[in-house]
Amino acid sequence: MKEEWGGVPDLEGSKCSEIYVNVEEEVALRVLKWVPLNSISESENTLVMIPGWGSVFEGWRPLLSEWTSRRTILYIETREKKSARITRKITKKDFEMDVHSKDIFKVINFLKLKNEKIDWFSSSLGSTILLNGYQKELIGGRSSILIGPNINFRPPIWANLFLKFPVPRFTYPLLTKIVLFAVEKRVKEEGQRIRYRRVFKSQDLWRMLLSARANITYNMNLNFEKTLIPCAILSAESDKLHAIDGIHRINDSLPNCTMINVPSNQYTHESDVLKEIEDFHNLIE
């Protein structure tokens, strides 16, 4: 599914460009940039979006189709995604949280963006990457909206067998079907099922396996005393893939954070969520 990871998605009311940013020797990340055609709509701040683990653009098209006509948006695809250009041998260490956070830092520096002019929008792994970056004081911003941040990544017991022991590559197609079946059984929202089906069918499976192995050893440090960036967490009770108790603990640990309840995880991918997003941004001086 090459079309998921290349080319310029043209959205009405905006102009899109695609670049690759070198974050390490033989590692470059894909970055999409939309600029509104109507300059009157333009905000002085840049919205920088970090989608979730393996997330593909099509899952965000309903939201971005409207949002890109209103403001400049940068969409950064992290290195576990098939779009990343990696021409060297990779290991589990290449997908640790600190590595992801440093990648984002390097992209922001390359693009010469000022922290005080950045509004962040992130989902799942993307949210966890940013929180890790804020904590390490690598990344800053004017505001940050987080969807489903992960305090840790705990797969089912049976999945640990695949993640902790060597898996022959010829078994990957079968493994993908097993994981997809398990995810679809757990997910209650139909929109979420469709997105994850698309995600699992369009990945570099070796990267995703290494990324998953790196993620299962991660535990978030909840000391966020120095993280003063205004944050909002979008959360839905129907979202069974992102542990709600962990999300509440993150919310309670951030000194300048508010929880915004939304109808569903799918709602955060639709243009209707712009009301909650813009209401939050309007509260920030």
Domain ranges of the chain: 2-282
Residue 19 parent element (H or E) = strand 14-24
Structure tokens that stand for 52 in this block: 């979730």
Give the CA-trace dihedral at 278, 190, 34, 37, to 10 degrees.
-70
Give the closest residue to 104 by CA, choosing from 69, 144, 66.
Answer: 144
pTM: 0.87
CATH architecture of 2-282: 3-Layer(aba) Sandwich (3.40)
Please report, in tens digits, the pLDDT of each residue of the chain (285 residues total). Answer: 445 677 789 899 999 999 999 999 999 999 999 999 986 656 789 999 999 998 889 889 999 999 999 999 999 999 999 999 999 999 999 999 999 999 999 999 999 999 999 999 999 999 999 999 999 999 999 999 999 999 998 765 555 556 665 666 666 666 666 666 655 565 555 655 666 666 666 678 889 889 988 998 899 999 999 999 999 999 887 665 557 889 999 999 999 999 999 998 889 999 999 999 999 999 986
Neighbours of 237 (CB within 10 A): 11
Q: Classify 118 as helix, strand or coil.
A: strand
Give the closest residue to 267 by CA, choosing from 232, 231, 236.
Answer: 236
